[in-house]
Structure 1
């Protein structure tokens, strides 16, 4: 019985191999597809029209929430949201007018004989980007509205190796983002 099954199996395999399709000429190459896009998204520069005052652990802070539905949980889990600032509300001796840096930004300066430490940070959550300002001396009651911010969303699947440490100009060049 085993011998009969082996003979039948070998015969079936031989029949399939003989009757299979024969290789023909290679067909013409199809048209080239569109160039690949890394699907990187970015905002225009924006100025928060106002900030909300908050207090965390006794330190005053000011925050602005920017609604952005493109920031999804999937982006937060596998991509990256980079936030940049132009702090135009400072004296140019503290923050040069054309300077752009990635948040968090920490400024340490002397004003009226007193040392100040200002920190600007960004925190992304689904559909929202929060910009937050803190001064270590609780000196401010309002924030200048000249400061500008911009964010760049790089989804998962797009190479970001070493990108966090690139300058704003290098990120824009790498992903073809207009400055």
Structure 2
């Protein structure tokens, strides 16, 4: 029995010495094992409560808030009315107030739907000569605008000067006043000859 205990004691001492003599630097690092199977996604958490609504933003400036415009109206040759020359006087106090720093535009629409910025002229399709001239003159601070039409080759026809005749609408006009104090991005590149562009830019109703 004592001999067996002595043998076990010696074996225990030898095992301790062997373990003490080993270190982590002994032997090469083994290859990395294969990647494990991905775990399952966890369940979605409970949705949080909706936050308070923030304050509303400030309304932007209306693009046509200060633009002045008229309805479409028929020409009224109230200054003189001759077979080859006619003039009407259109009055609005805003013409005088915006004479120096604003923009005053008169648009003329014909029976075929074409819209022109006054002044505009018509030429002969055969000779190229000037047939009809249409002009606009702002009378300074008086608040008047003169619209004058002249024909050079013959007397006026109905379609040249009439607003409405025998149920047919031939000519109408409207004016648009853009005060000089309106500072809108893109105004400097706006083509005033293009009525549709002006109407869209300033949100003008028909």
Question: TM-score, normalising length from structure 1?
Answer: 0.63
Number of the residue aligned with 1:53: 80
* Aligned counterparts, 1:78-97, within 5 A: 78-88=101-111, 97=112
Number of the residue aligned with 1:65: 89
2:135 to 121, 126, 129: 121
2:114 to 99, 104, 126: 99
Measured after TM superposition, the shift of residue 84 of structure 1 is 0.4
Measured after TM superposition, the shift of residue 76 of structure 1 is 1.2
Task: For structure 2, list consecutive stretches of 5 or more residues without a partner in the other structure.
Answer: 1-54, 164-169
**Residue by residue, what CA displacement relative to the aligned partner does 1:119-153 show, whole Å, maximum 9, x if unpaired?**
11122233222211012246349842342111100
1:41 aligns with 2:68: yes
Higher relative contact order (CA 8 A, sep 6+): 1
Contact 2:121 2:130 in 1 (8 A): no
SS in 2 for 1:139: coil
1:135 to 142, 151, 155: 151
Residues 162/114 of structure 1: CA separation in 2 closer, same or farther (3 Å cut): closer
Task: For structure 1, list consecutive stretches of 5 or more residues without a partner in the other structure.
Answer: 1-29, 89-96
Partners of 1:78 and 1:114 in 2: how far apart? 36
Partners of 2:131 and 2:89 in 1: how far apart? 23
**Residue by residue, what CA displacement relative to the aligned partner does 1:84-142 show, whole Å, maximum 9, x if unpaired?**
00133xxxxxxxx111111111101369x996510111222332222110122463498
- State the Cα RMSD in Å: 3.2
Number of the residue aligned with 1:15: none
SS in 1 for 2:104: strand
Partners of 1:166 and 1:140 in 2: how far apart? 25
SS in 1 for 2:199: helix
Residues 71/61 of structure 1: CA separation in 2 closer, same or farther (3 Å cut): same
Contact 1:109 1:115 in 2 (8 A): yes
Larger Rg: 2
Partners of 1:115 and 1:67 in 2: how far apart? 33
Aligned length, in residue pairs = 137
SS in 2 for 1:77: coil
Measured after TM superposition, the shift of residue 174 of structure 1 is 0.3
Residues 137/176 of structure 1: CA separation in 2 closer, same or farther (3 Å cut): same
SS in 2 for 1:70: helix
